[in-house]
Chain A
Amino acid sequence: MTPVVHRSPLPAPRSPSPTACTLRRDNRAVGGFFEEIPAFVVVVLSVSLFMVAAGTTIGIMGDDGELSGLQDRSARLCRAFLSCEAVLERGALSQEPLAGRLDAGKLDRLNDTALRGELNSPHPYNLTVRDLSSGREWTFGRPVPDGAPLKASAASAAVVELDDGRRDPARVEVVVWR
């Protein structure tokens, strides 16, 4: 409220009523709204700053949590592939599938549909088995999109048994995205 000050002396009221307002010229006026504006601006700025900082932090932490979850899923998918009977070599005596030992012949015959059924992943994935000695590659799943907002990968060492019985070092890489 802006105080209204009349410079000319006001005529004395004839009969003072309870609703009438008496205005005088003196130094006892109360500070009004405009005096509080700088303080108000500073307070609004402070609160806005804190809200933006808190929002940013929550957003970053949320993204990190989501990425960590996706990372775990890619690692689980990698483990699942390395113990998937459809691609594993069998023991000479026990005929049990040997985890981590991939059979090159089975990898050649494996198709995406069969692997999707074995892995049962809720997310799209790209899985690559690379023979580190010969450079030969087997790729399954979808191609990795360039603009995926969240992408996580996991890799594991493995062994590929070739048709001649030789075992080469290999790496299994899984990329999962959302």
Chain B
Amino acid sequence: MLRRRRRGLSALFDAVLFFTIILAATGALFWWASAARAGATADIATRDLGRAAADIQSAALECTVGPVDYSLGGRSLLFTGTVCECLALIVRCRSAGPDSGTAGLEGAVRRIYALLVEEPLRFEVRASAEGLVQDIVISDEGAGPGGPGEVRWTCSVPLVVNGLEGELALHLWR
């Protein structure tokens, strides 16, 4: 009787051990599947963000803005042209001196980028040129400065102002 009971208990013990191993294997399978899925999703998101940055940059620079008021050397003027020309004009105005008003031009550029950049992405346009003391930064309204590690993708294009070389960079982040 005792031997019979021992044999039954031994078989049950083996079965419970088997169940534990199966449970661990199932957990490992789910962990692997979720890790593979997360990796694939992150890859697609990064790839899409790269494409989006290039598309937005090329489209935005072609768009027309204006007529917009600005002042250069104390004179009030009107501008109508592409975003690329508008950014070049902002650089020229800033280089000319402190009595130039470019708020309207910057607002027009911001509006175009804000239309093209979809939520939840945030943007920052940074123009730099030779002879310009401080970079021109036009960022999303309500977006704080992108800290290190926050910027996920950058698309830079050359910017030539009065024969001087510069760079126009678009930063996108979530």
Contacts and interface: CB of A to CB of B under 8 A. Distances in A.
Nearest to A164: B64
A36 B11 contact: yes
* A30, A61, A169: residue with the most chain B Cβ atoms closer than 10 Å: A169
A169 B116 contact: yes
Interface in A127-167: 132-133, 155-159, 166-167
Interface string B54-74: 011011101110000000000
Interface residues of A, number: 41
A92 interface: no
Given A35-B8, A53-B26, A157-B52, A167 B44 contact: no
A27 B44 CA distance: 69
Nearest to B115: A132
B77 interface: no
B12 A61 contact: no
B7 A45 contact: no
In terms of DSSP, what is the predominant structure of the interface of chain B? helix
B12 A42 contact: yes
Given A36-B11, A39-B11, A46 B29 contact: no
Nearest to A53: B26
A64 B11 contact: no
Interface string B8-27: 10011011101100110110
Contact of A159 (B11, B14, B37, B62): B62
A35 B11 contact: yes
Given A68-B44, A169-B63, A29 B26 contact: no
Contact of A171 (B37, B62, B116): B116
Interface of A: 27-31, 35-36, 38-40, 42-43, 45-47, 49-50, 53-54, 57, 60-61, 64, 68, 71, 75, 100-101, 132-133, 155-159, 166-171
23 contacts: A27-B2, A29-B1, A29-B4, A31-B7, A35-B4, A36-B11, A40-B15, A42-B18, A43-B18, A53-B29, A57-B33, A60-B33, A64-B37, A100-B55, A100-B58, A157-B56, A157-B58, A158-B55, A167-B63, A167-B64, A169-B63, A169-B115, A169-B116
Given A39-B8, A100-B59, 15 more contacts: A27-B1, A30-B4, A35-B4, A42-B15, A42-B18, A46-B23, A50-B26, A53-B26, A53-B29, A68-B40, A71-B44, A75-B48, A133-B115, A169-B63, A171-B116
